């Protein structure tokens, strides 16, 4: 379970988040959608314990991230696919992560296969990876400990159509095993294909939430999204 309770974050008098509240139940994928600058990354950084809310709370599996006893086993995070040492190979990145978690080396092979990186690609330096390969490696690193909750910030960036289809199938499989998946994106169509529930955010506020069908209301979800976000932008102008 992932829960936001009236989370507000203020930077130098500007509200990046304004009483954001929503829940991601176990066994579901929630799409966290909004234009660039809407507050998605700020909310996820708060959830992952990288910054504190000004007020409200964000909890994972019943606790703030910093209070989890084994956070890497409980929660997998991908907040920046580029945050890997460029001189290390993909296999080395995963092996170091496995060692820190006390996992056997065999888990590295399992994860490389799971995310579709070949043996040759695993031996290549991360600095030579395409963005799509970096995304696959980042997702693999998040999955090392077989977490019960997954936090992914823009994981579809750089993936080709085949990679996006792979990601959909992976996330649906993880949700089917009971994982709570929070997926942020500005790519409406891709999230619509995989999400059980969607939270639309604009100018730091939750504008609407529900199933894709509920939010569409007989119109295209894209038109609903555009109408809500443009209204939010006008309200803060």
Q: Please, which residues have CB within 8 angstroms of residue 41's CB and are 6 or more apart in sequence?
A: 79, 153, 184
CB 28 within 8 A of CB 181: yes
pLDDT value of position 13: 84
**Domains in the chain and their CATH numbers?**
2-84+147-236 (3.40.50.300)
pLDDT value of position 106: 94
pLDDT value of position 235: 56
pLDDT value of position 1: 92
CB 47 within 8 A of CB 151: yes
Task: Print pLDDT tens along the chain (237 aa).
Answer: 999 999 999 988 889 999 999 999 999 999 999 888 889 999 999 999 999 999 999 999 999 999 998 888 899 999 876 677 888 999 999 999 999 999 999 999 999 999 999 999 999 999 999 988 999 999 999 999 999 999 999 888 888 888 889 989 999 999 999 999 999 987 777 788 899 999 999 989 999 999 988 886 655 666 666 666 665 555 555
CB 22 within 8 A of CB 206: yes
Q: What DSSP element (H or E) covers 72?
A: helix 71-74
pLDDT value of position 115: 93
Q: What DSSP element (H or E) covers 226?
A: helix 221-236
CB 5 within 8 A of CB 13: no
Residue 116 CB neighbours (<10 A): 17
């Amino acid at each position: 379970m992932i829960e936001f309770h009236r989370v507000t974050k203020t930077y130098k008098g500007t509200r990046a988040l304004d009483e954001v509240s929503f829940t991601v139940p176990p066994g579901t994928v929630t799409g966290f959608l909004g234009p660039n600058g809407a507050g998605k990354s700020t909310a996820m950084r708060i959830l992952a314990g990288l910054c504190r809310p000004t007020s409200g709370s964000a909890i994972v599996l019943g606790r703030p991230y910093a209070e989890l006893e084994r956070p890497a086993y409980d929660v997998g995070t991908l907040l920046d696919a580029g945050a890997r040492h460029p001189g290390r190979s993909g296999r080395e990145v995963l092996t170091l992560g496995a060692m820190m978690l006390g996992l056997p080396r065999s888990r590295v092979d399992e994860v490389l296969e799971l995310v579709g990186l070949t043996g040759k690609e695993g031996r290549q330096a991360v600095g030579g990876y395409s963005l799509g390969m970096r995304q696959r490696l980042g997702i693999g690193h998040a999955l090392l400990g077989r977490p019960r909750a997954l936090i992914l910030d823009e994981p579809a960036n750089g993936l080709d159509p085949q990679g996006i289809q792979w990601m959909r199938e992976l996330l649906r499989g993880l949700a089917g095993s009971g994982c709570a998946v929070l997926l942020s994106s500005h790519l409406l169509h891709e999230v619509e294909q995989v999400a059980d529930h969607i939270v639309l955010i604009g100018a730091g506020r939750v504008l609407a939430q529900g199933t894709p069908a509920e939010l569409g209301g007989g119109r295209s979800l894209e038109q609903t999204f555009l109408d809500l976000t443009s209204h939010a932008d006008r309200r803060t102008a």
